[in-house]
Structure 1
Amino acid sequence: MPPSLSEAQLLGNWFETLTYGMYFVTCGFCAQKLLCVGPEDRWRRPSEIRWFILSVGITLFVVAAFDVAIGLLHNLQVFAFYTGGGGAAQELSDISGWINVARTVAQVIQMILGDLVLIYRCYIVYSRRWKVLIPSLILYFGGVAMAIKLIEAQASLKHEESTINSSDIRPWSETLFCITAVQNILTTGLLIWRIWRVEREIEKLRVNTSGTTKNQSLRKVIRVVAESGFAYTLMVFLTFVVNVCNSNLIYPFANSTLQATGIAFNVIIMRTSPSRDEQFTVFVDNGPSIAENGAVIRLRFRSHITELPADIDDGDFTVKSIRVSVGPHEDLQINTYNTHDETEPESC
């Protein structure tokens, strides 16, 4: 039996508080990686801080905390201070009230920022080539348009009794959640495909020596991106399903999805930092190299070198640089040294 409107509202706030607690814990670890560096955890200099990622992280935190706060205020108004007729259900049915509209705005901001960061990561991994991201960008701006229309429709409702499942709102919210789910699947797939291709090229040039194990850091990056992307996309998809089913469960699912956006953002930063987990091997300066058939690979993190080498061609070999974003402050640089032959080496 589906919950009533009052039950769904209370469930929604309970689930949001639970997920916010998880999100709050991850914020501490994320802030450490964004603001500190090195085994001694020294504070980063301003030039070492990724300001875009930091500003997005702060915005996500403020919006998430704001939504929890006004959710509590809404419960107090409905169950403690409301004295009008119809009880709690009457007050909760005022979907065009400022609290409900503000919570929708918070939901929209989180989703837009989360999708923007995902597209930005994909843009960096694809060497800043926008053409690859055209389908994702079309979906992204379509989602932004649906979000604006959703807020407009909700704020302009004149019915005295209407909920988030109102026929005036559902078409826009359903479209928004559907577009967001598809866009996340597409962009995450592009991101994983690119990193997998780089890993495959590395495997072609890598040979094992006695006592040496294969480096699989990029495969672990793929797993981190896939796990976080799947968790967030699943929450968005489930929210879309309950919305289509016209169920009051939209409240707990939508509230949890709002916090899940920040959790996915933080987890990727935490788990893709080499200093955070030994699973990512740090190659410093003249790090390990692997030779095979006249080709050499060197792997180094950008934070350990002063500048990125440009492509070099001296007639004997070519140096190609591939940069893969693996975190908020480290770019994994992959330099391939290929001897000239009759065919142009395939670009990663």
Structure 2
Amino acid sequence: MGSPLTDAHSYGLFLESIFYGIFLATCGVCLKTLLFSGDRLKPVRELKWAMLVVVFILFGVATVDAVLQFYQNLHTFQIANGPGAAADDFSDISDPINVVKSAAMCIQTTIADMMLVYRCWIVYSRSWLAISLPGLLVLGNTAVTGVVLYLEITLNQHALLSVKKIKPFGAAFWALTVVINVITTGLIVARIWRINQRTQDLIYRPERRGSRPLTALQHVMRIVVESGLLYTGASLITFISYITNSVAVYVTTDIEIQIIGIAFNLIIIRAAHSPKESYSFTSGSRSLEFRMSNQSTAVPSARANVSITQQDDREDKMSDKPGDF
């Protein structure tokens, strides 16, 4: 029987391989969504280059981590004379493979957090004030990441990731990741919900009876919440494993690095299949047009265009450009 640490790395390799397969499948569908319109390749001017770059970065980092996990397990069990020797090799915290795997996890998480803040920025009509708090938290978490990696490189001892010198900074990293997820997802959903209520008040008059159908904006909220729960849940489990000094943290981090990419891809894929809506009516001196589009971008595509002939303070936009949200 192996030690808890060697068992954790074996389980981590097995589960990461499964989630990496899921990630590969979502990458294929995501790239098809970004590169093709129906059966034809999109013109270069229509491509969302920022999203393509992020997709390839997430794929590259996840692939490097999966390959290193396989190589580390294979190499360790080949040279080990027993479970104790294997555990010593896995626990060499300053080993280049362990450091690169930690760096990959931090890079993947930082990119995901930045994309959350970017979506929030888009939703709030590119308002820097709206993202001031989560933006500062991301910068703070980036600084914490640098400290964690520096300590891992210079520690030069056999210890778990939750060793006393690193634990405060590691705990801060995962706690900030969870907080960033909760705040940005909450801000995005709150903004979409408010705009959805306003557009519904304009489209569905009080005299119209019956239940209101699910709108495109409500569909957007569902996509954001579900993807946010997937990422936040994985981060919360990792945080709990870390602060309790459990070797399960090696399993959860191997899984989470793949879940981050899966959640990002699913937003783009599901946004491409979000419903379209178009309404146009005139009431008195008021002429209103309401449209929803479903172009594939960083966040679920939905834009409300309201054109009113008289002054009305109910107008609210989520984006200045079609397809940005």
Whether contact under 8 Å (1:288, 1:299) holds in the other structure is yes
- With the length of structure 1 as denominator, give the TM-score of the two structures: 0.83
Matching residue's letter, 1:189:
G
| Match in the other structure for 1:299 | 291
Corresponding position: 1:340 with 2:310: yes
Whether contact under 8 Å (2:5, 2:87) holds in the other structure is yes
Matching residue's letter, 1:298:
F
Deviation of 1:22 after TM superposition, in Å, equals 1.1
Whether contact under 8 Å (2:223, 2:300) holds in the other structure is no
Whether contact under 8 Å (1:48, 1:329) holds in the other structure is no
Change (3 A) 1:75 1:330: closer
Matching residue's letter, 1:206:
I
Q: Partners in 1 of 2:90 and 2:71 — Cα distance?
A: 13
SS at match of 1:297: strand
| Match in the other structure for 1:151 | 149
Q: Partners in 2 of 1:272 and 1:300 — Cα distance?
A: 12
Q: Percent sequence identity over matched residues?
A: 31
Whether contact under 8 Å (2:271, 2:294) holds in the other structure is no
| Match in the other structure for 1:195 | 192
| Match in the other structure for 1:310 | none
Corresponding position: 1:164 with 2:161: yes
- With the length of structure 2 as denominator, give the TM-score of the two structures: 0.89
Corresponding position: 1:65 with 2:63: yes
Change (3 A) 1:258 1:29: same
Q: Partners in 2 of 1:230 and 1:121 — Cα distance?
A: 16
Change (3 A) 1:292 1:9: farther
Deviation of 1:210 after TM superposition, in Å, equals 11
Matching residue's letter, 1:34:
L
CA RMSD of aligned residues (A): 2.5
CA distances 1:133-174 after superposition (whole Å, capped 9, x unpaired): 001011111111111111111011122x22212112221111
1:47-66 matched pairs, under 5 angstroms: 47-66=45-64
Change (3 A) 1:35 1:149: same
| Match in the other structure for 1:269 | 268
Q: Partners in 1 of 2:209 and 2:313 — Cα distance?
A: 32
Whether contact under 8 Å (1:49, 1:329) holds in the other structure is no
Answer with 166-175 or 239-248: which moved more.
166-175
SS at match of 1:132: coil
Change (3 A) 1:215 1:165: closer
Whether contact under 8 Å (2:6, 2:86) holds in the other structure is yes
| Match in the other structure for 2:259 | 260
Deviation of 1:300 after TM superposition, in Å, equals 4.5
Q: Partners in 2 of 1:217 and 1:300 — Cα distance?
A: 7
| Match in the other structure for 1:280 | 275
Whether contact under 8 Å (1:115, 1:140) holds in the other structure is yes
Whether contact under 8 Å (1:207, 1:292) holds in the other structure is no
SS at match of 1:255: helix
- Unmatched runs of 5 consecutive residues or more in structure 2: 318-325
CA distances 1:214-241 after superposition (whole Å, capped 9, x unpaired): 4611101100110010111011011000
Change (3 A) 1:89 1:178: same
Which structure features the higher share of strand residues? 1
Deviation of 1:212 after TM superposition, in Å, equals 12
SS at match of 1:186: helix
Q: Partners in 1 of 2:165 and 2:279 — Cα distance?
A: 61
Q: Partners in 1 of 2:266 and 2:299 — Cα distance?
A: 14
Matching residue's letter, 2:239:
F
Q: Partners in 1 of 2:172 and 2:59 — Cα distance?
A: 26
SS at match of 1:280: coil
Matching residue's letter, 1:260:
I
The alignment covers a number of residue pairs equal to 313
| Match in the other structure for 1:249 | 248
SS at match of 2:163: coil
Whether contact under 8 Å (1:165, 1:248) holds in the other structure is no
Whether contact under 8 Å (1:8, 1:251) holds in the other structure is yes
Whether contact under 8 Å (2:65, 2:104) holds in the other structure is yes
1:1-348 matched pairs, under 5 angstroms: 4-37=4-37, 39=38, 41-82=39-80, 86-159=84-157, 161-207=158-204, 214=213, 216-273=215-272, 277=273, 279-281=274-276, 287-292=278-283, 294-301=286-293, 327-328=297-298, 331-340=301-310, 344-345=313-314, 347=316
Change (3 A) 1:239 1:291: farther
Whether contact under 8 Å (1:112, 1:144) holds in the other structure is yes
Change (3 A) 1:15 1:84: closer
